[in-house]
Amino acid sequence: MGMISNVTTLSFRPFRWALLAATAIACAAVAQTEEPTSGGGLNIPADVVVFGKNDPGVRKPTAIVNGDIITRTDVEQRLALILVANANAKLPPEEVERLRTQVLRNLIDEVLQIQEAKANKIEVTRQEVNDSFERVSRNFKRNPVQMAEYLKQIGSSEGSLKRQIEGELAWNRLLRRRIQPFVNVGQEEVQGIISRLNASKGATEVRVGEIFMAATPENAAEVSNNLRRIMEQIRQGGSFTAYARQFSEASTAAVGGDLGWVRPEQLPDTLAAAARDMPVGQLAGPIEVPGGFSALYMIDKRQVLTADPRDAVLALRQLAISFPPGTTQEQASAKAATFAAATRTIAGCGSAQKVAEQLGAEMVDNDQVKIRDLPTQLQELMLGLQVGQASPPFGSPQEGVRVLVVCGRDDPQVADGPNAETIMAQLEEQRVNMRARRYLRDLRRDAVVDYR
């Protein structure tokens, strides 16, 4: 059992040919035993038995983008990645259909991005895609084979996710070649920002996530409504990170929409106005911004150039007990009460070990836990604990019950001054994003898209 996890967010060609061969043999056997019917010279039996069924999703294109086909299977497999991120939300059929439409638009953009990268002689190798797929698999605590099986189980596929990875790699590489070299941020501009930051020591800095959707005056109402529906699904339990990866049209989509740490005034005016008053964990939008609409998610807040207690690093000892399968709520509550009574006697990490032995509890140590990285519910609790004290028990009948004992604490030092390289990188990214949106808009305008 680990310490704590902060919850936020194929081709089977041989089988196919074997099936076709078996079907052909079976049809031949039927043809030898049935009387032929009139079929214009075709030897068609009167009692036709169809082996297998036609799957129009596999064969029928949904859209053709400059000659490249997007099938309904492509759409459904990518949609499955969205739906699995909403396991706790019940989506009505009309909402699923809206998501399906948006997924198709995203796939069209993805095809355009890959096509443009190839036109500029930018290739993403299979090994690069496989390496990225392996990293994604590790994030899900699986190896690539297990990840492929998991994707198949949820109605998606290894190929669908790898196609998305290829699109992201190709587009980012293209932006680095065609746009980033021509984005200039002057030293005077950076120094001006540093001076303003130093002058505003103690002011609020925010870490926000953004889902940006481009809009024109003609489709602004439709885009705003689509973003509003996405936000509603997130509020019902959907993963902001998953939705940002699939639907955001900013380059930060690749990192789940995370903009990193910024001062509110570094954001566009409308986003800055919203970010100043948002508490941690709140979602705001749709917010009109230049070129479209955005949804903002407040990930965290801190004070500029000021030590934040939540940056304290704790040495923790965790005691945990699990419940066997089939344990009822009453049984779990009784066992948890015994566990709670015993852990209340803990007075330091030394006594924690004795209590763990008495209870048969599993014990795990971690001496590099930043309070900020704990689940929100635990952060305020851990801020108030002194070295040697234990938290109240927490958990569930499914996950078991655990307590955390503070064995040591390293309080944060006063924050360093603003970093010129970081500020320059943020400004460059903002300008690259703006030009990338225009680039993609031009690709859409010039594309030949045939919807089927």
Which ranges in 120-249 belong to alpha helices (H)?
Answer: 126-139, 144-153, 158-178, 187-199, 220-235, 240-247
| Average per-residue pLDDT for the chain | 78
DSSP secondary structure code for residue 36 in this structure: B
Average pLDDT over residues 60-70: 80
Neighbours of 218 (CB within 10 A): 7
Query: Residue 279 and residue 229: Cα distance in Å, rounded?
Result: 21
Lookup: tokens for 283: 């979602």
Instruction: Give the lowest-confidence range in 45-59, 279-293, 333-347, 367-381.
Output: 45-59
State in Å, rounded, how far the first CA of the chain is from the last one: 51
pLDDT band at 112 (very low <50, low <70, confident <90, very high): very high
* 44 in Cβ contact with 412 (< 8 Å): no
| Residue 215 clears pLDDT 70, i.e. is over it | yes
pLDDT number for residue 4: 36
Establish how many alpha carbons lie within 13 A of residue 181's alpha carbon, considering only the half-sphere containing its beta carbon: 5
Query: Is the pLDDT higher at 418 or at 336?
Result: 336
**Exposed, middle or buried, 93 (CB in 10 Å: 0-12/13-18/19+)?**
exposed
pLDDT in tens, 194-210: 887 777 777 778 889 99
With CA atoms as reference, report the closest residue to 262 among 222, 182, 204, 219.
204
Query: Residue 121 and residue 360: Cα distance in Å, rounded?
Result: 62
Q: Report which secondary-structure segment, H or E, holds 184.
A: none
Instruction: Give the lowest-confidence range in 60-69, 100-109, 209-218.
Output: 60-69
pLDDT band at 55 (very low <50, low <70, confident <90, very high): very low
pLDDT in tens, 376-405: 778 778 877 888 888 888 877 677 788 888
Average pLDDT over residues 324-348: 79
| Residue 211 clears pLDDT 90, i.e. is over it | yes
Lookup: tokens for 74: 């492509």
**Exposed, middle or buried, 131 (CB in 10 Å: 0-12/13-18/19+)?**
exposed
| Residue 288 clears pLDDT 50, i.e. is over it | yes
How many angstroms separate the Cα of 256 from the Cα of each of 9, 142, 252, 307? 9, 20, 7, 27
Q: Is the pTM of this model over 0.75?
A: no
Please give the single-letter amino acid code of residue 7: V
Query: Residue 334 and residue 362: Cα distance in Å, rounded?
Result: 19
Please give the single-letter amino acid code of residue 66: N
| Residue 283 clears pLDDT 80, i.e. is over it | yes
Which ranges in 318-375 belong to alpha helices (H)?
Answer: 329-343, 349-359
Using DSSP's 3-state secondary structure scheme, residue 237 falls into coil
pLDDT number for residue 57: 39
Domains and CATH numbers, the chain: 13-53 (no CATH), 54-176 (1.10.4030.10), 179-306+416-451 (3.10.50.40), 309-410 (3.10.50.40)
pLDDT number for residue 416: 60
- Per-range mean pLDDT, top range of 44-58, 146-160, 320-334: 146-160
Q: Which residues contact 382 (CB under 8 A, 6 or more apart)?
A: 314, 371, 374, 391, 404, 406
Q: Which residues contact 145 (CB under 8 A, 6 or more apart)?
A: none
| Residue 102 clears pLDDT 90, i.e. is over it | no
pLDDT number for residue 87: 58
pLDDT number for residue 86: 64
| Residue 5 clears pLDDT 90, i.e. is over it | no
* 87 in Cβ contact with 79 (< 8 Å): no
Instruction: Give the lowest-confidence range in 56-60, 126-130, 297-301.
Output: 56-60
Query: Residue 120 and residue 443: Cα distance in Å, rounded?
Result: 13
